[in-house]
Amino acid sequence: MFFDLDGTLADTVELILMSYRHTMRTHLGEAPSDERWLATLGTPLRIQLADFARSTAEAAAMLETYTTYQRGVHDEMVRPFPGAAEVLTALRARGSRVAVVTSKREEVARRTLDVCGLSEDIELVVSCDHVERPKPDPESVHYALSALGLDESPADVLFVGDSPFDLRAGRAAGTRTAAAPWGAFARQALQAERPDYFLEELSDVLEITPA
């Protein structure tokens, strides 16, 4: 079982938006609409920021501003979605291999998991630090499959994510996909990706996967 992190296991949207607004106001004087930022949520931060920066130097400065600000407020603003810890524990009790496949940097991803109390049941974290081509490219999913010895049977793996980028990456890697509509993306955007399953809550994955 593979999970995205932001918007799937961890409720981090307000943290992300606050960090975005602060960064844009610092460098551009004002923040473009939240919708513009959220449209690319699920891709690496450096790629998101490059769309707003007027030069590579400004993009690097924006990245520093964003990460510094986020680091200062992170722990008080992130929390797990309801049932996340219980679902992960139940999956591991069944013998499932559980990985997080995220576009976050590994340092931040692991901090989020720790703060949310989810680290213990995560066997593997694949971040944007591990790949050259992040989601929606399937490289990160292939990486997780290989690391866990599951690359011969990707269809036995379910990849749960809240963004179109998650669903595209999972499908391209040959896994089954499940849409999590409690994240930042509208239901219609997820339906357009034609996931194998559409969840209503995290515990639904326990009905999909065999006991």
- Active-site residue identified among 4, 121, 162, 166: 4
Is the CB of residue 163 less than 8 Å from the CB of residue 145? no
SS3 label, residue 148: coil
Q: Residue 60, exposed/middle/buried by CB under 10 A (0-12, 13-18, 19+)? A: middle
Is the backbone peptide bond immediately before 136 cis, with ω within 30 degrees of 0?
Answer: yes
Note if 4 is an active site residue. Answer: yes
| SS3 call for 6 | strand
The two structure tokens encoding residue 2 = 């593979």
Torsions phi, psi for 162 (to 5 deg): -105, 0
Closest CA to 64 of 12, 22, 103, 117: 22
| 77 within 8 A of 15, measured Cβ to Cβ | yes
Local structure of 79: helix, strand or coil: strand
Catalytic sites, residue numbers: 4
